[in-house]
């Protein structure tokens, strides 16, 4: 309970305590507490757990949600869909430093992947949305996103006979804001990348990862990365400050986009605090950080070691950790996610409008 409170607070002391706990004190004890013994007898007791496809998702809602996710009519000018910024062919991101936004002037934040996002305890860099449904409201009304209102959006959908049929087939109330949110959220919940090499190793396949990758995982724990990036999503379950051991932000430290959680709570101690990102697909989703300021994984890891852990890290250790991180992306619809997709920096929308 106390530990949980410290986690939620995300203060400097919390990190020290956590580091002590994970690295020095009792990894065995905690791992035992995290792992669910009922999942599998051969599941390794580790602070990272495997992903499984969620049970109980209605396939018809997934199909409907997938169509809505790709439908550009949702945007005010009928030219923007969720997929405009979260391209599934591009690992759920736009590949830009910061998202362009509706006015194409550029938003202030980097676009996180939608894959596995349903597993994060809060959504957005500042964690302002508690659920996927709430997150969709921000998109619909956000001036740089759909910039519309629900009644306008619903009217557009109601003109589509196929939507009218699908909605009334699945939901007794037909096309409503709550049902649109429900369908899109159900689709997003289905975007789980399963069967990664690392997960197969966690489940007992000793050959799923090689010795260098294993050494990288060991370093990831030894340095203390695991104190913040942990659990099923290798992150996404706590808030932490960027700049624990020394201040990360210079003269622009008062910029709204860098204030993070403070924008939600107004509390001084929440300045520069962010929802810790998941590292599940991190090797596929450059650039990094809330403002896209780290171009490569190497840059990001250097910053992490220096500012979050107060450590210098050797090139060799960085390479090892990257080797481990490369074992984390799993499969979606039977295909292992990879960086084979072309990164499209223009604002072209490749969705099929109908
Ligand atoms: C104009 C680009 C754009 C569009 C359109 C867009 N997003 Fe996003 N999305 C972003 C950016 C940028 C963020 C991070 C914003 C923040 O943290 O404040 C984000 C964050 C998210 C997150 C949170 C991920 C996490 O790990 O916290 C989810 C989930 C998400 N979007 C899903 C959607 C869905 C569903 C739609 C369509 C209803 C959508 N997005 C439309 C750019 C976009
Ligand atoms: C004290 C908590 C903490 C520790 C320890 C920590 N991180 Fe992070 N990590 C964060 C936070 C918070 C962010 C988001 C920062 C931001 O974007 O503002 C982050 C972001 C990242 C990112 C960028 C992810 C993305 O999608 O943009 C990578 C990569 C990363 N961390 C790797 C590591 C590695 C490797 C270690 C160990 C050397 C480590 N982290 C240690 C809290 C931590």
User: Within this chain, do residues 202 and 273 fall inside the same structural domain, yes or no?
Assistant: yes
User: Within this chain, do residues 161 and 204 fall inside the same structural domain, yes or no?
Assistant: no
Could you tell me if residue 352 is inside a domain? no
Could you tell me if residue 88 is inside a domain? yes
107 Cβ below 6 A of ligand 1:
yes
Domain count, the chain: 2
Residue 11 has pLDDT above 80, yes or no: no
Residue 207 has pLDDT above 80, yes or no: yes
**Do residues 257 and 109 lie in contact, with contact meaning Cβ atoms separated by under 8 Å?**
yes
User: Within this chain, do residues 112 and 207 fall inside the same structural domain, yes or no?
Assistant: no
Q: Which of 10-19, 124-133, 243-252, 336-345 has the highest mean pLDDT?
A: 124-133
User: Within this chain, do residues 7 and 107 fall inside the same structural domain, yes or no?
Assistant: no
Q: How far is the CA of 112 from the centre of ligand 1 (A)?
A: 7
**What's the pLDDT tens digit per position in 106-133?**
778 999 999 999 999 999 999 999 999 9
Could you tell me if residue 343 is inside a domain? no
230 Cβ below 6 A of ligand 1:
no
**308: CATH:** 1.10.760.10
Residue 144's contacts (CB-CB under 8 Å, 6 or more residues apart) are: 99, 101, 102, 103, 107
User: Within this chain, do residues 75 and 134 fall inside the same structural domain, yes or no?
Assistant: yes
Question: Strand 273-275 to strand 331-332: parallel, antiparallel, or no bridges (unpaired)?
Answer: unpaired
Q: How far is the CA of 315 from the centre of ligand 2 (A)?
A: 17
240 Cβ below 6 A of ligand 2:
yes
**Section 31-55 average pLDDT:** 72
Pocket probe for ligand 2: among 276, 326, 329, the residue whose CB has the most ligand atoms within 8 Å is: 276
Instruction: Please list the active-site residues.
Output: 145
- Specify the DSSP class assigned to residue 338: -
Could you tell me if residue 300 is inside a domain? yes
Ligand sitting nearest the alpha carbon of 264: 1
Confidence of residue 340 (pLDDT cuts 50, 70, 90): low
* Residue minimizing CA distance to atom 40 of ligand 1: 82
Rounded (to 5) percent helix, strand, coil in the chain: 45, 5, 50
User: Within this chain, do residues 127 and 12 fall inside the same structural domain, yes or no?
Assistant: no
User: Within this chain, do residues 207 and 312 fall inside the same structural domain, yes or no?
Assistant: yes
95 Cβ below 6 A of ligand 1:
no
User: Within this chain, do residues 201 and 184 fall inside the same structural domain, yes or no?
Assistant: no
Could you tell me if residue 351 is inside a domain? no
Structure tokens, 123: 């959504």
Could you tell me if residue 349 is inside a domain? no
Could you tell me if residue 344 is inside a domain? no
How far, in Å, CA of 74 to CA of 51, rounded? Answer: 31
* Residue minimizing CA distance to atom 32 of ligand 2: 301
Pocket probe for ligand 1: among 91, 112, 118, 188, the residue whose CB has the most ligand atoms within 8 Å is: 112
Buried b / exposed e over 173-202, threshold 16 CB at 10 Å, is ebbebebbbbbbbbbbbbbbbebbbbbbbb
Residue 238 has pLDDT above 70, yes or no: yes
Question: Of the residues 189, 221, 256, which one is the last residue of a structural domain?
Answer: 189
Ligand sitting nearest the alpha carbon of 130: 1
Q: What is the mean pLDDT of the chain?
A: 88
User: Within this chain, do residues 181 and 74 fall inside the same structural domain, yes or no?
Assistant: yes
96 Cβ below 6 A of ligand 1:
no
* Residue minimizing CA distance to atom 26 of ligand 2: 288
Question: Of the residues 145, 172, 189, which one is the last residue of a structural domain?
Answer: 189
Question: Of the residues 141, 156, 189, which one is the last residue of a structural domain?
Answer: 189
Question: Alpha carbon of 26 to those of 32, 109, 281: distances in Å?
Answer: 10, 37, 28
Q: What is the span of the domain harbouring residue 23? A: 2-52+195-336
Residue 33 has pLDDT above 70, yes or no: no
Could you tell me if residue 348 is inside a domain? no
User: Within this chain, do residues 209 and 323 fall inside the same structural domain, yes or no?
Assistant: yes
Ligand sitting nearest the alpha carbon of 132: 1
User: Within this chain, do residues 251 and 316 fall inside the same structural domain, yes or no?
Assistant: yes
Q: How far is the CA of 255 from the centre of ligand 1 (A)?
A: 21
Q: Within a 10 A sphere around the Cβ of 33, how many other Cβ atoms?
A: 9
User: Within this chain, do residues 203 and 271 fall inside the same structural domain, yes or no?
Assistant: yes
């Amino acid at each position: 309970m106390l530990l949980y409170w410290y986690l939620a607070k995300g203060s400097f002391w919390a990190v020290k305590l956590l580091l002590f706990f994970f690295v020095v004190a009792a990894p065995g004890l905690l791992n035992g507490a995290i792992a669910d013994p009922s999942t599998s007898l051969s599941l390794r007791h580790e602070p990272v757990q495997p992903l499984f496809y969620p049970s109980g998702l209605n396939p018809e809602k997934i199909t409907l949600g997938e169509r809505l996710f790709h439908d550009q009519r949702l945007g005010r000018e009928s030219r923007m869909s969720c997929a405009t910024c979260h391209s599934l062919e591009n690992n759920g991101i736009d590949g830009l430093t910061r998202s362009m936004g509706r006015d194409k002037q550029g938003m202030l934040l980097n676009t996180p992947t939608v894959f596995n996002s349903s597993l994060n305890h809060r959504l957005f860099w500042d964690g302002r949305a508690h659920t996927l449904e709430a997150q969709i409201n921000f998109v619909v009304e956000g001036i740089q996103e759909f910039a519309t209102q629900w009644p306008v959006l619903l009217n557009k959908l109601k003109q589509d006979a196929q939507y009218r049929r699908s909605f009334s087939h699945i939901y007794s109330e037909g096309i409503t804001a709550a049902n649109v949110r429900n369908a899109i959220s159900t689709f997003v919940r289905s975007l789980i990348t399963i069967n990664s090499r690392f997960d197969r190793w966690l489940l007992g396949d000793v050959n799923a990862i090689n010795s260098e990758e294993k050494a990288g995982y060991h370093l990831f724990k030894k340095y203390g990365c695991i104190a913040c990036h942990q659990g099923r999503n290798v992150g996404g379950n706590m808030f932490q400050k960027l700049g624990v051991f020394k201040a990360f932000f210079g003269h622009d430290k008062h910029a709204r986009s860098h204030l993070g959680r403070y924008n939600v709570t107004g509390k001084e101690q929440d300045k520069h605090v962010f929802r810790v990102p998941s590292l599940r697909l991190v090797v596929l989703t450059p650039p990094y950080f809330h403002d896209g300021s780290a171009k490569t994984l190497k840059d990001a890891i250097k910053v992490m070691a220096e500012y979050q852990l107060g450590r210098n890290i050797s090139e060799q250790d960085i390479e090892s950790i990257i080797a481990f991180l490369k074992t984390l992306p799993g499969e979606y619809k039977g295909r292992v996610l990879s960086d084979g997709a072309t990164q499209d920096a223009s604002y072209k929308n490749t969705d099929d409008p109908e």
